[in-house]
Chains A and B, each alone.
Chain A
């Protein structure tokens, strides 16, 4: 009897063990290359580690939203464009009055909460719109969010006619200063992990990704849940936009271009299955760190920036192949 209970509650090794070993492996490779070519350590440099994580915090926050969408067997290509418009909207309401070229001369020196809420609201609204289009028209998420990629980028070009927006009130600088982005990233990660593993929200997200028909037959309001997941992802894009705008002290219509691909790459590397139903926030965080180490490592070794993208592409293919292999061996078992 005791054995039976033990059997029932026994959990296998943490599922991210494999991808964590990849992270360690990548770090070791760059460490060795660092000693060989530069004569110094790569990874045991607190400053460098801090910068790697800081730089990846924004992509990481996006990737956490994308993780939940992909678990639901969706995809979102519009993250970078939504960051573009959300950053501009927030920036346009965060300007000081001594700026002669303010976007809204009548709305300057506002309390910082207003630009923040405006940015988050725009991003969340566009995310929700993604979900609504997918749920109501039932067109593939790839197409719906591809359209949003174009639409949101168009919105940001139109919003300030392509001009960049800067000169923010002091309080707005907080979100991108020091280690704040890292703390926000961690907070978002912990919260999302709890939502996915402990609440009905998470259960339904996995269920829809695993078998949408079954979820529907079980009485889950699939359409409404999709809108919720895409809206929450939008909210996370909004948070990323605020941090980016605050850090860069400026917003431009081109901000966030192609970031969605980095976010999707991190999610896929982190072991989330593009077929849906499988994935974890912890894996995505490791995926983000792997991408960060590779990007930083190439710069450290002085290898051209173009090679980074080539290597990233190869890694994405490798990650998806590994996922398919896992799927196949699982079905056989």
Chain B
């Protein structure tokens, strides 16, 4: 199932002044693999994601992606090589419609006239519909502005943006944190669809039930370090929680941390 290594980090470290937010993180994900990153608040999950998506630059360490060493100066650099990210703060323009948001910053044009290129709206609409279909996302009217949509629909648009561009790696930072039960299910279904299509995914989540259900591998962060890599099929909530908290909880077999 697991194929070639798609992304590796070696000794990835990020210090904010005296704060060691991320220490010596060695991480790898293979093509087709879905990996979850879990950990307490401030454990370094989001810091880690910010380094591999180019939002910030690491203090030390290396990132290998798709066979090459990479230095991402900004999120666009990471996106250009095929790392698409759904950020926690959706990064959508409320006053634009769905295709406009999906293609923001990389509009399809008839011919290139620099900043005055004429956009091919038909092609963008068709591609947006295609991307939505691939993730089985249903949005009633694509010409509605994003601001008029529910949280779940907005999240779906943010996700379909990553899928439309047939990316090599998708990263989702807490994609269901702000969603209701039904909307969460919808997003989880999208993730399952991505799994079937063999698109690798890094999922940051607080929801252990979700993580155990969805992914292959679980990476646990604690105090800026990776403290465990678990096979989702061979572990349970207790083991994850004890790694997250750093306490051997004395394992209550019936405890429901999940």
* A residues whose Cβ falls under 8 Å from a Cβ of B: 7-11, 195, 198-201, 203-204, 206-207, 209-211, 213-215, 217-220, 225, 228, 276-278, 330-331, 333
Contact of A199 among B76, B105, B119 (CB under 8 A): B119
Which residues of chain B in 89-113 are interfacial with respect to chain A, using CB atoms and an 8 Å cutoff?
Answer: 89-96, 100, 104-107, 109, 113
- Kindly list chain B residues whose C-beta atoms are within 8 Å of the C-beta of A198: 118-119
Q: Taking the complex as formed, is B140 at the interface, i.e. its CB lies under 8 A from any CB of chain A? A: yes
What is the interface size of chain B, counting residues whose CB is below 8 A from a CB of the partner?
33
* B residues whose Cβ falls under 8 Å from a Cβ of A: 74-76, 79, 87, 89-96, 100, 104-107, 109, 113, 115-119, 125, 129, 140-143, 147-148
Residue pair A201, B115 in contact (C-beta under 8 Å): yes
Interface CB pairs A-B, < 8 A, 11? A199-B117, A199-B119, A206-B100, A210-B93, A213-B91, A214-B93, A217-B91, A218-B105, A219-B79, A276-B95, A278-B95
Given the known inter-chain contacts A198-B118, A199-B116, A206-B96, please indicate yes or no for A219 contacting B106, CB distance below 8 A: yes
Given the known inter-chain contacts A200-B117, A201-B116, A203-B107, please indicate yes or no for A217 contacting B75, CB distance below 8 A: yes
In the complex, what distance in Å separates the CA atom of A116 from the CA atom of B34? 63
Residue pair A209, B95 in contact (C-beta under 8 Å): yes
Q: How far is the CB of B220 from chain A (nearest CB, A)?
A: 28
Interface of A is mostly: helix
- Kindly list chain B residues whose C-beta atoms are within 8 Å of the C-beta of A210: 93-96
Contact of A219 among B75, B95, B113, B148 (CB under 8 A): B75
- Kindly list chain A residues whose C-beta atoms are within 8 Å of the C-beta of B143: 8-11
- Kindly list chain B residues whose C-beta atoms are within 8 Å of the C-beta of A11: 143
In the complex, what distance in Å separates the CA atom of A185 from the CA atom of B178? 48
Question: In the complex, which of the residues B87, B115, B148 has the most CB atoms of chain A within 10 Å of its own CB atom?
Answer: B115
Residue on A nearest B98 in the bound complex, by CB: A8
- Kindly list chain B residues whose C-beta atoms are within 8 Å of the C-beta of A200: 107, 109, 115-117, 119
Q: How far is the CB of B195 from chain A (nearest CB, A)?
A: 26
- Kindly list chain B residues whose C-beta atoms are within 8 Å of the C-beta of A213: 89, 91
Residue pair B95, A203 in contact (C-beta under 8 Å): no
Given the known inter-chain contacts A10-B141, A203-B107, please indicate yes or no for A215 contacting B93, CB distance below 8 A: yes
Contact of B148 among A209, A215, A330 (CB under 8 A): A330
In the complex, what distance in Å separates the CA atom of A198 from the CA atom of B75? 27
Residue pair B118, A199 in contact (C-beta under 8 Å): yes
Contact of A277 among B90, B94, B113 (CB under 8 A): B94
